[in-house]
Amino acid sequence: MCVFFKNNNEMIKINFRKIKVLSLFLMLICIGFACEKMPDAPKFVLPKLSIEDLSIQEGDGNSVLQVRVILDKAATNNVVIRYSTKDLTAIGGIDFTGLINETVAIAPGASETTIPIAIKGNEYFESDKRFEVVIFSALNADVIRNTAKVTLKNDDESTPGGLRIPSAGYSSPEAYPGYQLAWADEFKGTAVNLSDWTFEIGNGQNGWGNNELQYYRAENTFIHNNEYLVIEARNEIFGGQQYTSSRMITKGKKEFKYGRIDIRAASPKTQGIWPALWMLGENFQQVGWPACGEIDILEILGHETNKAHGTVHWGPNSNQRQQKTASTFSGPEGDFHERFHVYTIIWEENKIEWFINDVKFHSVTTADMNGFDYPFNDEFFFIFNIAVGGLWPGNPDASTKFPQHLIVDYIRVFQK
């Protein structure tokens, strides 16, 4: 709607005002359109990278752990990661292989990789140990967590004397078809059952006939954790000898003729140590050795603990002593020090067979006596001991470590 005024100058002035207002209105509209947000162009977002904590059993030997590095989505480009390890309570070069400025990569299309680190296990008790893996750069990824804590968990048991109880091993059943359990010692409780066992004391005559160096004491044997019999050989002077150990027997208390005998045990490991699980004829004091007969269920030399021996001795006197022996090596389950194994004889009239973990490796019969009497059809008693030095293993040397332990989980005697 237009209004005309008589004064043309005034009319013209009003028209100019209208034009200015209209122009201002149009400018505001343009500014509004100009200020309205336009959609952004698509942005490339880097995948987010993180590293995971890890906790593992330390183990007895060397192994390789894998620390995971993860992207939140598949990589578009090759992701190159640089990392190092950082000592905490675990020390590079001692507990694990320390690494500096190493690299791994995540290929396009993948979303994770692992960082391999060699671990140096051992067989001795120690506290849990830790170290860190630190990522200090990652090409084509956005690092949101750059440090992983790695815990090496102790898997060994200990006493103040350094006792190590194996964490695994072979076990045998508590019953067999056709057999009855005649006697067993599971070594429960806090002390050796003296109703079944007697400790032999001293160095014997001529080092028990083998030039052995230990003095046998009852104090070197104990029950660990109400579960394991432990015989401990020590480097200590006592009774005129440089070393001490224990020798325990069932003579006059538990004597047997025939049966299946299972002994679950783990042996010591070092030069000059000689553990044995064996038997002598109960008439030993009347007829002497070797006429009484000797059955060695297990003998191991401490410097070669992947090799076990089974033996019998017989003959009318020491000048005419006879023996038949066989040896076998440990299998994939670990050597005779690292794991528990079950040592077995199946003892029948005129025949004895040896087994380790139910695998036969030796036998003897009356046909093997070389014309001498067969003494193994009579009553026998058990002997458990660790000898130090002597004719067979040789003496301790600079490599020998003490204390050393023979650990027995159980002995079971089954008879028909």
> What are 410's two structure tokens?
């159980």
The pLDDT of residue 163 is: 85
pTM: 0.65
Q: Is there a contact between 174 and 412 (Cβ–Cβ < 8 Å)?
A: yes
Domains of the chain: 48-153 (2.60.40.2030), 180-415 (2.60.120.200)
Say which of 58, 212, 232, 299 is annotated catalytic. Answer: 299
3-state secondary structure the chain: CCCCCCCHHHHHHHHHHHHHHHHHHHHHHHHHHHHCCCCCCCCCCCCEEEECCEEEECCCCEEEEEEEEEECCCCCCCEEEEEEEEECCCCECCCECCCCCEEEEECCCCCEEEEEEEEECCCCCCCCEEEEEEEEEEECCEEEECEEEEEEECCCCCCCCCCCCCCCECCCCCCCCCCEEEEEECCCCCCCCCCCCEECCECCCCHHHHHCCEEECHHHEEEECCCEEEEEEECCCECCECEEECEEECCCCCEECCEEEEEEEECCCCCCEEEEEEEEECCHHHHCCCCCCEEEEEECCCCCCCEEEEEEEECCCHHHCEEEEEEEECCCCCCCCCCEEEEEEEEECCEEEEEECCEEEEEEEHHHCCCCCCCCCCCEEEEEEEEECCCCCCCCCCCCCCCEEEEEEEEEEEEC
Closest CA to 149 of 164, 132, 165, 166: 132
pLDDT along the chain (416 residues), means of 10: 42 49 52 52 83 90 92 94 92 86 95 94 70 96 96 70 83 97 96 96 91 95 94 94 97 98 96 97 97 98 95 97 97 86 98 98 98 98 97 92 95 98
- What is the distance between the terminal CA atoms of the chain, rounded to a whole angstrom? 128
Say which of 58, 232, 294, 338 is annotated catalytic. Answer: 294
Backbone angles phi, psi at 83, to 5 degrees: -150, 165
User: Could you tell me the CA-to-CA distances from 169 to 24, 253, 296, 401, 409 in Å, in that order?
Assistant: 94, 30, 22, 24, 11
The pLDDT of residue 2 is: 41
Dist. CA 52–CA 58, nearest whole Å: 18
CA–centroid distance for 285 within its chain:
43
Catalytic-residue membership of 299: yes
Catalytic-residue membership of 379: no
- How crowded is the C-beta side of 226, counted as CA atoms within 13 Å? 1
Dist. CA 127–CA 140, nearest whole Å: 39
User: Could you tell me the CA-to-CA distances from 370 to 41, 132, 314, 316, 324 in Å, in that order?
Assistant: 99, 66, 10, 12, 10
Closest CA to 152 of 124, 121, 114: 121
The pLDDT of residue 6 is: 42
